[in-house]
Amino acid sequence: MIHFHILTLFPEMVMQGLHTSILKRAVEKEAIAIEAVNIRDYTLDKHGKVDDYTYGGGAGMLMQAQPVYDACKAVEQRIASAQPENPGGEGSCRVIYVTPQGRTFHQAMAQELAREKHLIFLCGHYEGIDERVLEELVTDYVSIGDYVLTGGELPAMVMIDAIARLVPGVLHNHESAATESFSDDLLEYPQYSRPEIWQGRRVPDILLSGNHGEIERWRLEQSLERTKKLRPELYEKWAREHEEYFRKKEKREARERKKQNKQKKAEK
């Protein structure tokens, strides 16, 4: 069980987005828990204000330190009091600030984060958050890539989706992310469903053959071909790490050639 806590000014957006399809099922099964905390609920300003102008001037508003700090501390305290075996365990939980200036999120990061019990995501809006509260709270600065969005909510949802599917019990066994496969780190092979012929295009014969060994081999070849063409750097890495695959393939093909030569001779 992993608990995601999202500090945001738009809790409905995050809750809507993350309570759909597979993650909805995961919440119902209690494989994960998702809570959105409205930073505005923690402002001490009597008009509910959470932003202000930036010192030094410049465009736009900045989220102020106080409501962000109090919202985060409230979550940390709730986590600590739910763990009586770890009194004052506050501060042990990672606080991830989603920001264009962070390290770019990737699969290995998702795997590492999936091992935590609690994760706090801090979503900025407007031009960002007062630097002092970031220094006080944040353990990880993470971006999802080099393009500009309007806020941190979508990036937090992207990261939570990628992390959650790695948590045991979230995916069904047949779709499990944990079953290590030869073809991990390659692009996917093409897939087909009914009908057998659509607009004159046939499903590849091999997939109708019922020969599961041949099908598996074909799929891996397709994955390799695609990866070589579309993501050459991924292909080179895979090839370096799977030299034995190419040796075995050589041998298999040599064996095939021999067999065919023999057959030809016998036919003569």
Chain residues binding ligand 21W by CB under 6 A are 98-100, 124, 127-128, 143-145, 147-152, 155
Q: How far apart are CA 53 and CA 60, in angstroms?
A: 7
Query: Looking at beta carbons only, is 62 or 114 nearer to ligand 21W?
Result: 62
Q: How far apart are CA 35 and CA 162, in angstroms?
A: 17
Q: Least distance (Å) from ligand 21W to the CB of residue 200?
A: 42
H/E segment holding residue 157 = helix 153-164
Query: Looking at beta carbons only, is 27 or 154 nearer to ligand 21W?
Result: 154
Query: Looking at beta carbons only, is 155 or 166 nearer to ligand 21W?
Result: 155
Whether a cis peptide bond, with omega within 30° of 0, leads into 100 is no
Q: Least distance (Å) from ligand 21W to the CB of residue 35?
A: 20
Q: Least distance (Å) from ligand 21W to the CB of residue 146?
A: 7
Query: Looking at beta carbons only, is 89 or 100 nearer to ligand 21W?
Result: 100
Q: How far apart are CA 6 and CA 165, in angstroms?
A: 17
**Considering only CA atoms, which of 218, 229, 230, 232 is closest in space to residue 183?**
218
Contact 223, 183 (CB under 8 A): yes
Q: Least distance (Å) from ligand 21W to the CB of residue 18?
A: 16
